[in-house]
């Protein structure tokens, strides 16, 4: 039997990565062709396309105009919360971007300087990202749902010259003023930046004389051309939650990123230039970076920047309205979004009101996709619904069912097979030997990772090595657990570290524990992620109070919720804390969070022989079962 396109391509990609990716790199217009395809840097980390020179913004905009796509739509801003739709052709987007780049240059931003963007989902966010890329500056977008403290942490780590922000974001039923958050972050951060530039929105302006007015600066800004950068130069830093309170600065380079994303659009998403592609996410997340901004534009598609939610903006038909209105071919979102739609419109009554015949695929990622949601979406849409798996670190999917290579059967519960370039394996945590089919272990990727993945952490090669490369020498450790079935489909069962996913938002329970532990009444605590029907997971705190402290669980929950909202942000959705007499631990003092999670999720578990006192597990179960 002939091998499928997938098998052939996959085997080629692993047998000779240099030939494979060297071939893919030809899809780019390089200023200087790379001298080597794969090499190692001074830390021994793999680097792609060293010696190559290019500009990501040129490839995303100018190139398409040169090739005749100037009048094609590049970006559609669709904002149900402001009742606005703005369409930008490639010519118009280039004009916006090159003037924004000129504005940044006038503010003194040079190649290699960092620029932080703390922005809602408005076109200026994408424009500013591309403007940074145009002049070789390194952007770092901070999700608008993060609190001032999180912004301050990122300011101190990235040390930006300029911070770009807007006066307000708009959530389902409220306006979020960004000004006070920015000011509080500036007060907390040690690093002082040169300028804060604010885009004033009609819905709510913010008056702070030290902030520069974005629109006024643009009036005087020249349109500037592209600065050539090295393929290995950083394009952006995106901070993500790790297993400590300090977020990790994932670095994305220019060359590998452009090659990988271009490849992914055709191979995984079956998308061609001119197609309309919609990732219903936020530019503050990796999905937004890769599939709202860079990949669709690098491919010459029309991308949609949606300032709304799947529900209540105005209703659960919102997605179908957008698909119909803009003739979307591919929709990519998180399962949570679909669970929300399913809850509000279980029989698809709103869905029936729209013509969604343009929609060919639905891709889901960001969290585990439960089978009920997958099947509901399949029945509703009657198109392939494809779960795929990736991380901020990888920048593009590592597991998928590559639609561009001819779909394989969809196996519910699995995020698909390894994408060409990714040698995904499941290993035993202790011996590092391969797990048998259907046996659960640690999900790792054999090095080298393909182009597009993180080459290192921002100014922290030691943490990169310790966090990802040390646990399984020769492999990148993803932090996820899972198994492969007999046919090579991989099932991701969840994080095996302290990271949780709340409504597709990646958060660290270790960071929450630091905040909970800072409460004056708390002696000790454990925060775990428990299953939630809508959001996938939500955090719950188990707290041992200090002697003499008397608080009800609801008082404690209220106070801790406030502290976590203030430090991390509302997206943490921390609402429940419960008092326990003691926490389950090993004799060496390690808290058995995984077992607590199993108890809360009503799953079987095996207590380790090193447990200090088995009776504590029963106590935890009783407290959990008696929760209100």
- Beta partners for 142? 118
Q: Which residues contact 153 (CB under 8 A, 6 or more apart)?
A: 239, 246, 247
Give the one entry of ligand AMP, ligand COA, none that residue 368 binds, where binding means its C-beta sits below a cut-off of 5 to 8 angstroms depending on kind: ligand AMP
CA pseudo-torsion sign 62, 250, 334, 439: positive
Give the closest residue to 116 by CA, choosing from 203, 194, 215, 210.
194
Nearer to ligand COA, 104 or 328 (CB): 328
- Note whether 22 and 35 are within 8 A (CB): no
- Note whether 182 and 196 are within 8 A (CB): yes
Q: How many residues bind ligand COA (CB under 6 A)?
A: 24
Pairing status of strand 475-484 against strand 441-446: antiparallel
For 119, 538, 576, the CA distances from 522, given in Å and listed in that order, are 35, 21, 15
Q: Does 311 bind ligand COA (CB under 6 A)?
A: yes
CA atoms in the 13 A half-sphere facing the CB of 423: 16
Give me 469's structure tokens: 């490369």
In whole angstroms, give the CA distance from residue 442 to residue 495.
9
Q: Does 519 bind ligand AMP (CB under 6 A)?
A: no
The DSSP code sequence of 344-398 is H-TT-TTGGGS--TT--EEEE-SS---HHHHHHHHHHH-S-EEE-B--TTTSS-S
Distance of closest approach, residue 311 Cβ to ligand COA, in angstroms: 5
Q: Does 268 bind ligand AMP (CB under 6 A)?
A: no
For 128, 460, 520, 525, the CA distances from 550, given in Å and listed in that order, are 51, 43, 12, 16
In whole angstroms, give the CA distance from residue 76 to residue 276.
10
- Beta partners for 302? 276
Q: Does 538 bind ligand COA (CB under 6 A)?
A: no
Cis geometry, peptide bond prior to residue 448 (ω within 30 degrees of 0): yes
Q: Which of 160, 169, 397, 451 touches ligand COA (CB under 6 A)?
A: 169
The stretch near ligand AMP (CB under 6 A) out of 160-168, 213-221, 323-331, 478-486 is 478-486
Nearer to ligand COA, 254 or 333 (CB): 333
Q: Which of 233, 480, 497, 498 touches ligand AMP (CB under 6 A)?
A: 480
The stretch near ligand COA (CB under 6 A) out of 10-18, 89-97, 329-337, 455-463 is 329-337
Residues 332-351 that bind ligand COA (CB under 6 A): 333-334, 336-337, 340
Give the one entry of ligand COA, ligand AMP, none that residue 306 binds, where binding means its C-beta sits below a cut-off of 5 to 8 angstroms depending on kind: none
Give me 575's structure tokens: 């609402």
- Beta partners for 164? 117, 197
Q: Does 506 bind ligand AMP (CB under 6 A)?
A: yes
The stretch near ligand COA (CB under 6 A) out of 282-290, 392-400, 408-416, 480-488 is 282-290
The stretch near ligand COA (CB under 6 A) out of 92-100, 153-161, 305-313, 371-379 is 305-313
Distance of closest approach, residue 467 Cβ to ligand COA, in angstroms: 22
Q: Does 203 bind ligand COA (CB under 6 A)?
A: no
In whole angstroms, give the CA distance from residue 622 to residue 616.
10
- Note whether 307 and 203 are within 8 A (CB): no
Q: Does 21 bind ligand AMP (CB under 6 A)?
A: no
Query: Which letter does DSSP use for residue 27 in this model?
Result: G
The stretch near ligand AMP (CB under 6 A) out of 93-101, 314-322, 360-368, 458-466 is 360-368
In whole angstroms, give the CA distance from residue 514 to residue 563.
11
Nearer to ligand AMP, 149 or 388 (CB): 388
Distance of closest approach, residue 427 Cβ to ligand AMP, in angstroms: 16
Q: Does 492 bind ligand AMP (CB under 6 A)?
A: yes
Q: Does 282 bind ligand AMP (CB under 6 A)?
A: no
Nearer to ligand AMP, 601 or 612 (CB): 601
Torsion angles phi and psi, residue 337, rounded to 5: -60, -40
Query: Which letter does DSSP use for residue 25 in this model?
Result: G
In whole angstroms, give the CA distance from residue 408 to residue 443.
22
Which string of x and - marks every residue 386-415 that binds ligand AMP (by CB under 6 A)?
-xxxxxx----------------------x
Which string of x and - marks every residue 569-608 that binds ligand COA (by CB under 6 A)?
-xx-x-----------------------------------
Give the one entry of ligand COA, ligand AMP, none that residue 492 binds, where binding means its C-beta sits below a cut-off of 5 to 8 angstroms depending on kind: ligand AMP
Q: Which of 337, 467, 479, 569 touches ligand AMP (CB under 6 A)?
A: 479
Q: Which element (helix H / strand E) includes 106?
A: helix 90-106
The stretch near ligand AMP (CB under 6 A) out of 217-225, 296-304, 433-441, 476-484 is 476-484
Nearer to ligand AMP, 50 or 293 (CB): 293
Residues 450-509 that bind ligand COA (CB under 6 A): 503-504
Residues 222-251 that bind ligand AMP (CB under 6 A): 240
- Note whether 590 and 614 are within 8 A (CB): no
Distance of closest approach, residue 397 Cβ to ligand COA, in angstroms: 12
Give me 181's structure tokens: 């958050």
Nearer to ligand COA, 103 or 386 (CB): 386
Q: Does 309 bind ligand COA (CB under 6 A)?
A: yes
For 330, 347, 352, 362, 391, the CA distances from 338, given in Å and listed in that order, are 15, 13, 16, 11, 20
Distance of closest approach, residue 577 Cβ to ligand COA, in angstroms: 16
- Chain residues binding ligand AMP by CB under 6 A are 240, 286, 365-369, 387-392, 415, 478-480, 492, 495, 501, 506
- Chain residues binding ligand COA by CB under 6 A are 144-145, 169, 171-172, 176, 281-282, 285, 287, 309-311, 333-334, 336-337, 340, 366, 503-504, 570-571, 573
């Amino acid at each position: 039997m002939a091998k499928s396109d997938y098998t052939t391509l996959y085997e080629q990609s692993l047998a000779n990565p240099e030939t494979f990716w060297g071939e893919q790199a030809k899809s780019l217009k390089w200023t200087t062709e790379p001298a080597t395809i794969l090499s190692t840097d001074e830390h021994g980390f793999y680097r792609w396309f060293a010696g190559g020179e290019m500009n990501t913004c040129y490839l995303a905009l100018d190139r398409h105009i040169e090739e005749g796509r100037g009048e094609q739509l590049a970006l559609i801003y669709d904002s149900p919360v402001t009742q606005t739709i703005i369409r930008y052709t490639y010519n118009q987007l280039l004009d916006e971007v090159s003037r924004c780049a000129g504005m940044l240059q006038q503010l003194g931003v040079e190649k290699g300087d960092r620029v932080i963007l703390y922005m809602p989902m408005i076109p200026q966010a994408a424009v500013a990202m591309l403007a940074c890329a145009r002049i070789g500056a390194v952007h770092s977008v901070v999700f608008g749902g993060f609190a001032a403290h999180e912004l301050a942490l990122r300011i101190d780590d990235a040390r930006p010259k300029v911070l770009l922000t807007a006066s307000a974001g708009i959530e389902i039923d409220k306006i979020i003023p960004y000004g006070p958050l920015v000011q509080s972050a500036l007060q907390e951060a040690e690093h002082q930046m040169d300028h804060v530039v604010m885009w004033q929105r009609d819905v709510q302006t913010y008056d702070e004389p030290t902030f520069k007015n974005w629109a006024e600066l643009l009036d005087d800004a020249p349109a500037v051309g592209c600065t050539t950068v090295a393929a290995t130069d950083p394009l952006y830093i995106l901070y993500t939650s790790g297993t400590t309170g300090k977020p990790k600065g994932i670095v994305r380079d220019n060359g590998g990123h452009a090659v990988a994303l271009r490849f992914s659009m055709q191979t995984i998403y079956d998308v061609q230039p001119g197609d309309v592609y919609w990732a219903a996410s936020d530019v503050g997340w990796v999905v937004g970076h890769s599939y709202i901004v860079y990949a669709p534009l690098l491919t010459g598609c029309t991308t949609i920047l949606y300032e709304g939610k799947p529900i209540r903006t105005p209703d659960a038909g919102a997605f179908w309205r957008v698909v119909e209105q803009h003739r979307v071919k591919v929709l990519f979102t998180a399962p949570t979004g679909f669970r929300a739609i399913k809850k509000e419109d279980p029989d698809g009554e709103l869905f029936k009101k729209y013509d969604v015949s343009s929609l060919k695929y639905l891709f889901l990622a960001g969290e585990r996709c439960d089978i009920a949601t997958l099947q509901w979406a399949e029945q509703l849409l009657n198109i392939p619904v494809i779960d795929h798996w990736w991380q901020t670190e990888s920048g593009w999917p590592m597991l998928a069912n590559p639609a561009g290579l001819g779909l394989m059967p969809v196996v519910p519960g699995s995020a698909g097979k390894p994408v060409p370039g990714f040698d995904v394996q499941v290993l035993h945590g202790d011996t590092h030997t391969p797990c048998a089919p259907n046996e659960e272990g640690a999900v790792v990727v054999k090095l080298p990772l393909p182009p597009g993945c993180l080459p290192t952490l921002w100014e922290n090669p030691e943490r990169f090595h310790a966090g990802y490369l040390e646990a399984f020498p020769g492999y990148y450790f993803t932090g996820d657990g899972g198994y492969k079935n007999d046919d090579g489909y991989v099932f991701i069962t969840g994080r095996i570290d302290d990271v949780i996913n709340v409504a597709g938002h990646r958060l660290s329970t270790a960071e929450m524990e630091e905040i909970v532990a800072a409460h004056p009444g708390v002696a000790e605590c454990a925060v775990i992620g428990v299953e939630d029907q809508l959001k996938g997971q939500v955090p719950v705190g188990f707290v041992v109070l200090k002697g003499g402290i008397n608080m009800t669980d609801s008082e404690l929950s209220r106070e801790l919720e406030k502290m976590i909202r203030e430090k991390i942000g509302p997206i943490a959705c921390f609402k429940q804390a419960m008092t326990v007499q003691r926490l389950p631990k090993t004799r060496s003092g390690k808290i058995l969070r995984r077992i607590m999670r199993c108890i809360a999720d009503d799953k079987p578990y095996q207590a380790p022989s090193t447990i200090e006192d088995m009776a504590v597990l029963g106590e935890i179960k009783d407290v959990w079962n008696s929760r209100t």
